[in-house]
Amino acid sequence: MRLQRLIALAVSLVSAALGCDAGPSVRDCPTGTSCRPDGGPITDRPPQDVPPIDVGDLFTGLLSVEVQPANMTLTVRGQPVNLDFTLVGRYSNGTTRVIPLGAWRSTTTDLGDINAANGRFTANGLVGGTTRIEVTLPREDASTLQAATNLTVQFEREVYATPDGGVTPPSSVTGRFTGAPANDPAQRVTLRYPPASTVMPQNVAPPDVQWEGGTQGDVYRVTLSKPHAQVRGYVTHAGAGFRYDWVVDTAGWRALAESETASPIRLVVDRAHSGGVAAGSPVEFRLARGSLAGVIYYWDLRNGKILRIVDDSARREDFMPTPPRAPSGRVPASEERCVACHAVSRDGRFMAAEMWEGQGPSTVFDLTRDLSGNPAPTRFAPTYEGARWVYATWNPDSTRLLVNLLGGLELRDPSTGAMLPVRGGSLPTGNSVQPAWSPDGRTVAYVSDYAGPRPVTTMETDPGPTAFAASNLSSFPVTGTDAFGASRMLVRGAALAGQPEGVNAIAYPSWTPDGRWMSFQHGPFSESDIEPAPGQARRRFAGAVYLVGPDGANPTRMTLASGGGAEADSFFPNFSPFNQGGYYWLLFFSRRDYGNAQAGTRGTGRRQLWVSAVSNNPTPGTDPSSVPYWLPGQDVRNDNVSGFWAPQPCVTRGGACQVSSECCAGTCGPNPQGQLVCRSEEH
């Protein structure tokens, strides 16, 4: 009787399911993409040869089971789509019938969910990819029968951009692209961003695709695709002020990020002009399955202030608009609120910074407080009689600062600024700058033996803590609380003089988050450029970034991050606190072109922040870096340097998310209210 009741209940469930409409997005298939493999439309009911269900002898003569419909493709465009699967049995007498039992499952949860009892699959409409629909049928003798089929979900999205922000009727735009585009180099656009082979984190903000070429009245079709996800933007050249760019819309970018994470994104920009359509040259780039959920604090040189970018949203914030003012008459009015040479603690709570002028007073800001007041609060007041330093580094628990002023290192209390006594050993005292405390707190790397003179003809020819033409990389151990051991040289700057960037200066060491490696900058000078004399053009220098272990053996030039080939234009490297997607993520500034001249920085040489994915399991002697991407959120009109990355925690179950790698566990998908939240895999 128990079995009969279960069967009766299952019959009622499957009958209801078979009577449900599959939804307009499934049934409407003018191109055949949402139909059966034979091109016929999806029907609501099983084939005509399926007789009424006889629950009396459901298993008698049952030979096999199969899932219907089989090998389906659903096209989704941002809205949920239902598809009802049924289990059909084949019997020894040649008949078939619906089996209203079995436990249904989908092998993945990112595309949608399946009702375990009745086989209704609901595609969330947000991503594309493939899954396998499986069902297990228990028999009366305790054995089981199993059946499965493949399901493909194809995501499609089209966006029609107009100068006034409206929506252009699709026919007036898409009609320009009938037929196959011609391979015409003379009419083809030049793609400027993103570059081929770059690697970005999964939760990076949508990129601004930029190109060059064309005239007023042209229409550009920007296509980004994966095997089962495609996003298209149509952009019309409206004349003066046209920027030759399109920021990929958020919904489409998320679909690409979440769909088939192992597949690269293919990008192509086709141009419809008065004589036809010119095919663009495609490039491919990848999104690593990893999220960088943090905040970047960087120095806006033009305005002399520290700004921050919330990296996954590209939201730029002037979080400290009115820092403490310098005493009247001590510095020019344009510099009286200047903040520079900052260093952020590893936990993201505090920022040490130099105030007002080079080698001026210093202080510490608590980044967990509201710093929008006038003046912004500090842990201790900056004064010319008090604490002063140029570069600083935090110990792992943010209770100590190692700093340099001129040519030596000092230990300071970050809560008061007071100098602390060294309880064992000693700190380097001569020509030693730019300390970097390791994540485990056991080692400090620093730049040693810096020397000059400056490679320019000015009155200021002595080397200083920021500008020098020769130096080495050294380290010393932390032997106890406020105790330090003897230094050892790791890499001589002169040993790398034969590299393309040339000469002898090492600068800005930075540790990977697991402490296994360090990066540093190398080139003819510690700074990227310098003004020889007032009114003269700035002199530019080359700079490349390297990876080396704590023992200093075999430093490896990160050529792709540095600019590729013999080029070298990368400075002030800082590893993020993330080891995600198989990569460390290295932040640095560069004067290389970002995009085109209308929307980017092409031809200006303005310094901007870039990020390179660096293999967390590098092969000795092989470049571990990737082609970098431009950090979204910056102001392209300004010079932006000295980026420090502070972490944010991963998102717990039920918390808001955009992509799955932001979640501490599980996947990012819609909840019953349609909001994107972190869900368990079993959802």
Q: What is the pLDDT of residues 492-529, one digit of tens each?
A: 999 999 999 988 999 999 999 999 999 999 999 999 98
Q: In the prediction, which pLDDT does 35 show?
A: 40
Is the pLDDT at 397 greater than 90? The verdict is yes
26-30, 63-67, 441-445, 447-451: least confident range: 26-30
How far from the centroid of its chain's Cα atoms is residue 477's Cα? 34
Rounded to whole angstroms, the Cα distance separating 610 from 593 reads 11
Ranges assigned E (strand) in 274-408: 276-278, 283-288, 294-300, 305-310, 315-317, 339-344, 350-355, 362-366, 391-394, 401-404
Is the pLDDT at 454 greater than 90? The verdict is no
Residue 15 pLDDT level (bands cut at 50, 70, 90) = very low
142-151, 191-200, 513-522: least confident range: 142-151
Mean pLDDT of 364-384: 95
Mean pLDDT of 199-206: 95
Mean pLDDT of 564-577: 90
The tokens describing 261, both together, are 């994470």
Question: What letters, b where the CB count within 10 A reaches 16 and e where it falls short, cover 101-119?
Answer: bbebebeebbbbbbeebbb
Mean pLDDT of 54-75: 87
Q: Which run of H or E residues covers position 25?
A: helix 24-27
- Beta carbons of 288 and 613 less than 8 angstroms apart: yes
> Taking Cα atoms as reference points, which of 97, 85, 93, 55 lies closest to residue 147?
85
Residue 546 pLDDT level (bands cut at 50, 70, 90) = very high
CB within 8 Å of 402: residues ≥ 6 apart: 392, 393, 395, 409, 410, 411, 412, 427, 435, 437, 444
116-120, 302-306, 633-637: least confident range: 302-306
Q: In the prediction, which pLDDT does 631 show?
A: 96
Is the pLDDT at 13 greater than 50? The verdict is no
Mean pLDDT of 8-19: 38
Rounded to whole angstroms, the Cα distance separating 451 from 505 reads 9
Mean pLDDT of 326-345: 91
**427 compared with 169, residue with greater pLDDT:** 427
Pairing outcome for strands 483-484 and 470-480 = antiparallel
Mean pLDDT of 232-237: 94
Mean pLDDT of 251-276: 95
36-45, 276-285, 481-490, 579-588: least confident range: 36-45
Mean pLDDT of 312-321: 91
**167 compared with 74, residue with greater pLDDT:** 74
- In terms of DSSP H, where are the helices of 141-234? 170-174
Q: In the prediction, which pLDDT does 167 show?
A: 52
Q: In the prediction, which pLDDT does 168 show?
A: 54
The tokens describing 383, both together, are 């004064």
Rounded to whole angstroms, the Cα distance separating 667 from 237 reads 40
The tokens describing 449, both together, are 């033996």
- Beta carbons of 349 and 414 less than 8 angstroms apart: no
77-86, 172-181, 309-318, 642-651: least confident range: 642-651
Q: Which of 288-302, 334-348, 628-642, 658-672 shows the highest mean pLDDT?
A: 628-642
Q: In the prediction, which pLDDT does 453 show?
A: 61
Mean pLDDT of 675-681: 84
- Beta carbons of 270 and 223 less than 8 angstroms apart: yes
Is the pLDDT at 27 greater than 50? The verdict is no
Mean pLDDT of 535-543: 85
Is the pLDDT at 41 greater than 50? The verdict is no
Residue 619 pLDDT level (bands cut at 50, 70, 90) = very high
Mean pLDDT for all residues in the chain:
88
- Beta carbons of 521 and 541 less than 8 angstroms apart: no
Neighbours of 410 (CB within 10 A): 19
